[in-house]
Structure 1
Amino acid sequence: MKRTATTVLPSAPDPASARVRVSPTAPPLTRIPRLVGLLLVTVLILGLAACGGSATTTAGNGAPAPQEGPVVRVGSLLDSEGTLLGSMVIQMLDANGIKTEDKTKLGTPEIVRAALLAGEIDATIDYTGSGQYYHQGEEGDPKWKNASQAYEAIKKLDKDKNGIDWLTPAPANNSEYIATTKALSEKEGVETMEDLAAYVKRGGAVKLIAAQSWIDNPLGLKGFEEAYDFTLSDSQLIALSTGNTAEMLSALAKGTDGINFSLAYGTDGQLQDLDLVILVDTKDVPPVYEPTPVFRDAIIAAYPGIPGILEPVFKSLNQVKLQTLNARIA
């Protein structure tokens, strides 16, 4: 049964699904590549140097030697994180002499996935937990809550059925959690979801802002309530019609209308800047969503070095680093 919060804040139409975060102050598309150029330097220093990655042989003028093969069309979702990671892929391929075409900010998850399967793009950034929705009979299987099992499952399913290669994912879980202020966390001792349940049961004040769809989702608030044995009343909820966590976290940080808890994504860049913390989910309620470069296998066959080019960069993108990068382009 759908739960309706007592207050619904107005919000701009959501440009995509719940997996997409669009900051109202996000830089325009023309600025993203320049920002990524600066951020990629950091990633390369911390990632490639630590992992031993290297660029391809250069031509006599110092530029990367061009490789023979098709142009790689790289798409992404509409959100800033997708554009950031898609742009990183483009720059890494370009730096290794592989010709690319920038199709980042292509559309919603449904549009990007359809374009990849239809061969209209050759690569994108996707999230491991989304694999359960791509293949019949997989939705809700417990393996999608385990990082390694989810990755191995979608890697095999998409390779066997669609000729799609999932490369090395970033060790950063972009799933949906509940966040609060660091001040409340420290004062009330609320660091985990068990702590939140105890806080609710002892009558602690709660005003949670979240997307209505997440409130009603068995892998969202409903799942957390069942797993940790607590219940929030409608009067303790403020529902938005969209999944835009930028405005939710801003309201949390300001304490707007008494808001002291919010839906948050694990890699939200605002968390650090606004002094917010995510409550630890010890029971793995939502699926694991690790951002992963995904390619048509024909492209990997044409450029077998691509997995090795991207692996050290994505391995370097842990939770804190991706939050930091997202914060810089928010």
Structure 2
Amino acid sequence: MSPHLNFPTRKRRVVRTTLVAAGAAAALLLTGCGLQPATAFVPAAGPGSIKPIKGLPDDAELTVTTKNFTEQLILGKIAVLAAQAAGFKVTDMTNVPGSVAVRQLMLDDGADFTYEYTGTAWLTYLGGKKGIPDKAKQYAAVHDADLKNGLTWLQPAPLNNTYALAVREEQGKKLGNITSLSQIKSLPVSERTFCVEAEFNSRSDGFKPMLAHYGLKLGDPNGVPSKNVNVLDTGTVYTATDRGTCNFGEVYTTDGRINALGLTVLKDDKAFFPAYNVAPVFQTATLAKYPQLKGVFDKISPKLTDTQLRALNLRVDVKGEEPADVAFDWMKKEGFITAP
């Protein structure tokens, strides 16, 4: 299972089959009726470095869809603003419940564009048995496989929303300025304490194999004794790590709470975790009709980093701002658009 299917704080969730079907049906119905969901709002914007495409027909249309958790909502609004600045009439189909529903919209011509994660596509849609830690290889695998499905992946962003371990900034310094996972092995056994979710604790690509990859054995008195591991409910790991219940907590690399709580993400220096880079995905037919869209989104992708999305996610999840406003402010700050 992709980590992007089960993260309630950012509205990730495992969706029952009936809900997936209902979400997809509702999205398709709205598209067919020419309507848009109530969340289909972005502030008015003028062109910046993204300018109207020359020769674009007045009736050129683009339908944008995304899943319904914070990061996807922000990315979706970025895409809507970019397409509008390029001169398209945009149907905003962001906020669809569930990865499978969004995927089906893309496959069934219900949407032209989405932002998707390489690891999610590989493991959830394309039948990959194991994620690929190498970012370039994971991207190439999904890019090549999806061409036969009528979908074209543009170059991915640096943003890699995968699993990680984090430490409180002050505690990391006390432990000898620990910055990478490989350093945990050099710590005294008593300091090798962890907070993890139940799913991560039991996944085949989760906690136990991660420890083994870094030379530590779970349950070994000389490795990581079982008593050193706190298995917690989803959503409480961040707070427990911040409060000192453990030294190292399981996190997602772009979660806004990392910044809010002053946590430091440890570098996966031996490349254990699969790559989940986000990338613009188009229906191949749409991109063939409007090839200039590649240049539009190639401007944006290099700016979408883990650090940047943590800051944007924090504004929504912690400060309560609207994803559309956060996306607009960022697009304006980067010069992609201007205020009208």
Q: TM-score range by the shorter chain?
A: 0.7 to 0.9
Q: Is the 8 A contact 1:17 1:109 kept in 2?
A: no
Matched, 1:235 2:227: yes
TM-score (norm 1): 0.76
Compared with structure 1, are the counterparts of its residues 301 and 79 closer, same or farther at alpha carbon in structure 2 (3 Å cutoff)? same
The whole-number CA distance in structure 1 between the counterparts of 2:38 and 2:172 is: 39
Matched, 1:251 2:248: no
* 2:332 alignment counterpart: none
Aligned-partner residue type, residue 107 of structure 2 = L
Matched, 1:292 2:284: no
* 1:209 alignment counterpart: 195
Aligned-partner residue type, residue 19 of structure 1 = H
5+ residue gaps in structure 1?
A: 1-15, 60-64
> Of residues 137, 147, 152 in structure 1, which corresponds to 2:135?
147
Aligned-partner residue type, residue 9 of structure 2 = S
5+ residue gaps in structure 2?
A: 13-36, 219-223, 318-340
CA RMSD between the two structures:
3.0
Post-superposition Cα deviations, 1:259-302, rounded to whole Å, max 9, x if no partner, equal: 33211111112212211001111111011111111111122122
Aligned-partner residue type, residue 56 of structure 1 = P
Aligned-partner residue type, residue 55 of structure 1 = K
Q: Which SS does the other structure have where 1:126 is aligned?
A: strand
Matched, 1:135 2:148: no
Report the alpha carbon displacement of residue 106 of structure 1 after superposing the two structures with TM: 0.3
Q: Is the 8 A contact 2:50 2:85 kept in 1?
A: no
* 2:100 alignment counterpart: 110
The whole-number CA distance in structure 2 between the counterparts of 1:89 and 1:101 is: 11
* 2:333 alignment counterpart: none
> Of residues 185, 190, 215 in structure 2, which corresponds to 1:197?
185
Q: Is the 8 A contact 1:210 1:240 kept in 2?
A: yes
The whole-number CA distance in structure 1 between the counterparts of 2:208 and 2:109 is: 38
Matched, 1:68 2:59: yes
Q: Is the 8 A contact 1:168 1:307 kept in 2?
A: no
Report the alpha carbon displacement of residue 210 of structure 1 after superposing the two structures with TM: 2.1
Q: Is the 8 A contact 2:62 2:91 kept in 1?
A: yes
Report the alpha carbon displacement of residue 240 of structure 1 after superposing the two structures with TM: 4.1
Q: How many residues align?
A: 284
* 1:56 alignment counterpart: 52
* 1:303 alignment counterpart: 290
Aligned-partner residue type, residue 148 of structure 1 = A
Q: Which SS does the other structure have where 1:172 is aligned?
A: coil
Compared with structure 1, are the counterparts of its residues 227 and 32 closer, same or farther at alpha carbon in structure 2 (3 Å cutoff)? farther
The whole-number CA distance in structure 1 between the counterparts of 2:212 and 2:195 is: 19
* 2:87 alignment counterpart: 97
Compared with structure 1, are the counterparts of its residues 24 and 152 closer, same or farther at alpha carbon in structure 2 (3 Å cutoff)? closer
Q: Is the 8 A contact 1:22 1:78 kept in 2?
A: no
Compared with structure 1, are the counterparts of its residues 18 and 240 closer, same or farther at alpha carbon in structure 2 (3 Å cutoff)? farther
Report the alpha carbon displacement of residue 171 of structure 1 after superposing the two structures with TM: 0.8
Aligned-partner residue type, residue 135 of structure 1 = L
> Of residues 239, 250, 253 in structure 2, which corresponds to 1:266?
253
Post-superposition Cα deviations, 1:61-117, rounded to whole Å, max 9, x if no partner, equal: xxxx76433x32211112100110011001110111112211111012222222322
After superposing on structure 2, the runs of 4+ consecutive aligned residues of structure 1 that deviate more than 6 Å are 29-32
Q: Which SS does the other structure have where 1:268 is aligned?
A: coil
* 1:3 alignment counterpart: none
Aligned-partner residue type, residue 254 of structure 1 = R
Report the alpha carbon displacement of residue 251 of structure 1 after superposing the two structures with TM: 2.8
The whole-number CA distance in structure 2 between the counterparts of 1:25 and 1:74 is: 19
> Of residues 267, 272, 284 in structure 2, which corresponds to 1:280?
267
Report the alpha carbon displacement of residue 194 of structure 1 after superposing the two structures with TM: 1.5
Compared with structure 1, are the counterparts of its residues 31 and 98 closer, same or farther at alpha carbon in structure 2 (3 Å cutoff)? closer
The whole-number CA distance in structure 2 between the counterparts of 1:24 and 1:291 is: 16
The whole-number CA distance in structure 1 between the counterparts of 2:11 and 2:205 is: 29
Report the alpha carbon displacement of residue 176 of structure 1 after superposing the two structures with TM: 0.2
Post-superposition Cα deviations, 1:184-215, rounded to whole Å, max 9, x if no partner, equal: 1100122211211222xx22244422222211
